[in-house]
Structure 1
Amino acid sequence: MSLVTQLRSERAAINEKIQALAKLEAGGTELSAEQLSQFAQLEVEFKTVTEKLARAESAERLAAQSAVPVNEGAQGIASPPGSISGPFNQATQPGVAMAQMVRLLVQAGGNQTQAAELAKTGGYGADVHMALSTVTPGAGGVLVPENFSTSVIESLRPKSVVRSMGAVSLPLNNGNLTMPRVIGNTQVAYVGTEEDIPLTEMEFGDLKLSSKKAAAIVPISNDLLAWAGVNPRIDAQVSSDLATSMGLSEDLHFIRSAGSAVLPKGLRYWAPAGNVLPAPGGVTLEIVDLYLGGMMLRLEAANVDLAACGWLMAPRTIRWLQSLRDGNGNKAYPEIDMGLLKGYKFALTTQIPVNLGAGGNESEIYFVNFADCYIGEDQNLAVAISTEASYKDGNGNTVSAFQRDQTLIRVISKHDFGPRHVESVSVGTGITWGAGM
């Protein structure tokens, strides 16, 4: 095990202990002097390990940058004659290989053969050279090898709030996935001596996921893409831009899409009518607290396992809750500073609008069992490149990539989304908290 992996594991263990103590206090339990001392000690340990981890990660990056190219085949020194060979660097880091493919294709003007040659002579990994030598064009552009696309999908986890909160990713088999679910439990009855045991049966339903095509367009500066040779910082930047755009696209649909034959259905429209709660009329601490508790109660009443539950909301909403005070001037929800709300983690996303409703100032808040939410994924990605196309920016303005000296990278993925049990989702609507901030 590498030092970086070891330190990350050690830091995660310390964080679990910190969160356990915080959850106790959030639940109303007053921490003892011993527990407070333990909390302070854990904070010191967390900071120390974080500093060690930063140094170890920096050392790994420097080692990767100073790697000496070797002249051997893609299968090693003992590779058979005719195998792919060249002055390749070490194996490419996960999530970066696709970025290197894109950069080489841009430099080669979309010519795969030329891009493969650039990979061979430019010190890129043998895996990148092999991919460019063997991939075939598809309807959505150049198909990304599955081992590359899998690492890209993994890199989406910190970029997509739905994924980061614990939604489960499963492969689609031929574009489809069916998961049975229990919708009615057996009834257990007590019987007397020599009485017949009544027959009872479980009721089952299915969660059916089918691949829907999602496309994200990422504008990247030609100055960045044109950099010759392997550069971890540039490739990491390209990879990050791709993952961020794909993550935002996913969240937009996984949270609020109404669903159709071509669109996945989001949490807002999976929630049963009884789990959709209009905002209360007042904004006192008591009213707000009862309302949040009511959202949680909807899941508890349906026997949902709350262990993997969490909140989704717009940044405006959590900042208002963070500023809420009780009658003594104390923070109503001090655990927000530690990433918790009423004992459960939360995530913020601008993909939850703040301009809903007749007044254009309403938002929504979600409480969801994310362990019950599934993303069915086709493991293939396709990329297409253009230096001449146009796109619309965040304000709806049309931008010419040619005029801006940019390259547009279009990434197409196929997936679907849904909860196994719809009772695992509750939605608060008409939220105006923080609208005046």
Structure 2
Amino acid sequence: MSLVLQMRRERAELNDQLQALAKIEADGGSLTAEQMTQFGQLESQITALTDKISRAEIAERAAAASAVPVDESARGITGPPESRVEGPYGQPAKGAKMAQMVRLLAAAQGNQQAAAQMAKDGGFGTDVQMALSVVTPGAGGVLVPTNFSSEVIEALRPASVVRRMGTKSLPLNNGNLTQPRITGNTVVTYIGSDDDIALTGMTFADTKLAAKKAAALVPVSNDLLRMAGVNPRVDQLVADDVTVSMGLSQDLHFIRSDGGSGLLPKGMRYWALPQNLRPAPTATGITLEQIDLFLGGMMLRVETANVDMKQCGWLMPPRVIRWLQSLRDGNGNKAYPEIEIGKLKGYPFGLSNQIPTNLGADGDETEIYFVNFADMMIGEDMDLVIDLSKEASYKDGSGNIVSAFQRDQTLIRVIAKHDFGPRHVESIVVATGVDWGAGM
């Protein structure tokens, strides 16, 4: 029996004695002088034991956090992969199992049966072995099991600013989801004793989400894949690359895609009502009062729309928040000191380079978004499909064609299906033509 458990049992026995004495008075009796002394002693003993238990629990947690296998020198990096792929506090990193699938398929040149055998021989988890044994590769790639893809989708939350700000994720049933939204609230009125109650009611419309196919290309160094038996963090690196690439792609479309031809999700910029697209005052000659009034006006648009304000926040490119951070009042004090703790005018902000900064006639404008993210929805099809190629080419961030074969890389393609939409379009306000910070 552990020391903590032993002390807890002892404390429970003392507490039973204490409760028995307390019951005497609760039943209308009174304690003798001897019983009063015993009551005080029991109380002191219970307090002392509670303090000891607290210290022992801290010691146990510290010992558990620093514990290593007794045969670590023998196992180390050659132990089963699931024992090495760690996230915060030693827990398995989200998406690592899918990364193991990717790595094994890459090592097996895409041969699913060979990859399954490698998983078995290499001591990988039974879930990874089973996933590779039962899936059937097709023209689109290998279907990732739902339990693995769920981990990846959860891992996207810190990688995607739209998800991180509180957007809800909902499952798509057969690729579709229809969510009713209230367009007019019930009106409650006061009436006289002889008056008829007026008919009133809510009015509704629908937000319809339909699965859109998104593909992310993730180049991974073959040197990195070859180091799988040497570097205990390879799977986590692959998982991070996949989730970052998917997160950036989703932010790009969830924020500003026009939903062209129905093939793309429609982003917040194009869901916003025309009256909620607010031209920003130009930076030249602008006063702090004008800036504050403009930002407050954006907030007011949402506040007067009768929506729940519990998850509101700002989205903007980094240059805008740095410009606002540099503003000073007439006494030299920071105009918005709360930026240091991640807030602007009382609401959190998220930064994204997926909001372009080259808009407008002069190519120096951008946008600011104020959104109630509690009203935003992402419909998720839980199926992820992965495919690999060592010969394919891709475009880098500068638009240059890169050969995966020439660079000794494996190109991973991840295909996901999802859609984006708001429950209330009134919850999105966009500042357009923002040239703030253009010269930074």
What is the match of residue 197 of structure 1? 197
Name the CA shift for 1:432/1:386 in 2 (closer, same or farther; >3 Å). Answer: same
Alignment of 1:346-425 (within 5 A): 346-425=349-428
Give a deviation string over 1:154-207, Cα, whole Å, max 9, x none: 000000000000000010000000111111112222222222111112111111
- CA distance, structure 2, for counterparts of residue 140 and residue 361 of structure 1: 40
Specify whether residues 129 and 296 from structure 1 end up closer, same or farther in structure 2 by C-alpha distance, changes over 3 A only. Answer: same
Do the aligned partners of residues 64 and 425 (structure 1) sit closer, same or farther apart at CA in structure 2, a change above 3 Å counting? farther
Evaluate the alpha carbon distance shift between residue 258 and residue 66 of structure 1 in structure 2; reply closer, same or farther with a 3 A threshold: farther
**Distance verdict in 2 for CA 1:66–1:248, change over 3 Å:** farther
Shift of 1:316: 0.5
CA distance in 2, matches of 1:228, 1:361: 45
AA aligned opposite 1:211? A
Judged with a 3 Å threshold, the aligned counterparts in structure 2 of structure 1 residues 321 and 411 are, in CA distance, closer, same or farther, namely: same
Letter in 2 for 1:237: L
Shift of 1:66: 4.4
* Secondary structure at 2:405 match in 1: helix
* Distance in 2, Cα, partners of 1:222 & 1:65: 30
Aligned pairs for 1:2-401 within 5 A: 59=66, 66=72, 93=92, 94-229=94-229, 231-260=231-260, 261-281=262-282, 282-401=285-404
State the Cα RMSD in Å.
2.4
Is the Cα–Cα contact under 8 Å of residues 258 and 270 in structure 2 kept in the other structure? Answer: yes
C-alpha distance in 2 between matches for 1:231 and 1:213: 34
User: For the structure 1 residues 87 and 161, does the alpha-carbon distance in structure 2 shift closer, same or farther, using more than 3 Å as the test?
Assistant: closer
User: TM-score with structure 1 length normalisation?
Assistant: 0.80
Q: In 2 relative to 1, CA 379–65 (structure 1 residues): closer, same or farther, beyond 3 Å?
A: farther
**What do residues 78-98 of structure 1 show as CA deviations (whole Å, max 9, x unaligned)?**
xxxxxxxx9785597331000
1:49 corresponds to: none
Give the structure 1 partner of residue 42 of structure 2: none
Unaligned runs of 5+ in 2: 1-58, 86-91
> Does structure 1 residue 426 correspond to structure 2 residue 432?
no
Q: How many residues were matched structurally?
A: 368
Q: Does the 8 Å CA contact 2:256/2:267 hold for their aligned counterparts?
A: yes
- TM-score, scaled relative to structure 2: 0.79
Q: Give CA deviations for 1:269-306 in whole Å, capped at 9, x if unaligned.
A: 11101111001144221111111001000001112222
Instruction: Give yes or no for contact 1:186–1:202 (8 Å, CA) kept in 2.
Output: yes
Q: 1:184 & 1:166 partners in 2: Cα distance? A: 25
- The Cα of 1:101 is off from its aligned counterpart by 0.5
Q: For 1:267 and 1:230, locate their aligned partners in 2 and report how far apart those are by CA, in whole Å.
A: 45
Q: Is the 8 A contact 1:68 1:89 kept in 2?
A: no
Structure-2 separation of matches of 1:57 and 1:172? 41
Deviates more, 1:218-227 or 1:92-101: 92-101
Task: List gaps (5 residues or longer) in structure 1.
Answer: 1-51, 70-85
CA distance in 2, matches of 1:243, 1:410: 12
Distance 1:211 1:57, change over 3 A: farther
Q: Which amino acid aligns with 1:188?
A: V
Cα distance in 2 for partners of 1:67, 1:168 equals: 45
Larger mean CA deviation between 88-97 and 235-244 belongs to 88-97
**Stretch deviating more after TM superposition (261-270 or 227-236):** 227-236
Conserved in 1, the CA contact under 8 Å of 2:150 and 2:382? yes
Q: Which residue does the alignment assign to 1:12?
A: none
Q: Indicate the percent of aligned positions where both proteins have the same amino acid.
A: 67
Q: Is the 8 A contact 1:182 1:202 kept in 2?
A: yes
What residue number does 1:3 align with?
A: none
Change (3 A) 1:147 1:350: same
Q: Is the 8 A contact 2:112 2:137 kept in 1?
A: no
Change (3 A) 1:228 1:345: closer
Whether the 8 Å contact between 1:105 and 1:115 is mirrored in structure 2 is yes
Task: Return closer, same or farther for 1:228/1:202 CA change in 2, 3 Å cut-off.
Answer: closer
CA distance in 2, matches of 1:412, 1:213: 7
Whole-Å separation in 2 of the counterparts to 1:207 and 1:430: 28
Question: Could you tell me how far 1:434 is from its partner in structure 2?
Answer: 0.7
Tell me, yes or no, if the aligned pair for 1:224 and 1:234 is still in contact at 8 Å.
yes
Cα 1:371/1:57, change in 2 over 3 Å? farther
Q: Is the 8 A contact 1:122 1:229 kept in 2?
A: no
For residues 119 and 408 of structure 2, what CA distance do their matches in structure 1 show?
A: 24
- The answer on whether the counterparts of 1:149 and 1:380 sit within 8 Å (CA) in structure 2 is yes
Between the aligned partners of 1:276 and 1:396, the Cα distance in structure 2 is: 31
Q: Residue deviations 1:105-161, cap 9 Å, x none?
A: 010000011101111111211111111011122442100000000000000000000
Offset at residue 56 of structure 1 (A) = 9.0
Cα deviation code 1:353-385 (max 9, x no counterpart): 110000000000000011110000000100010
Question: Structure 1 residue 427: deviation in Å?
Answer: 0.4
Structure 2 residue matching 1:190: 3-state secondary structure: coil
Contact 2:288–2:329 under 8 Å retained in 1:
yes
The answer to whether the 8 A contact 1:170-1:375 is kept is yes
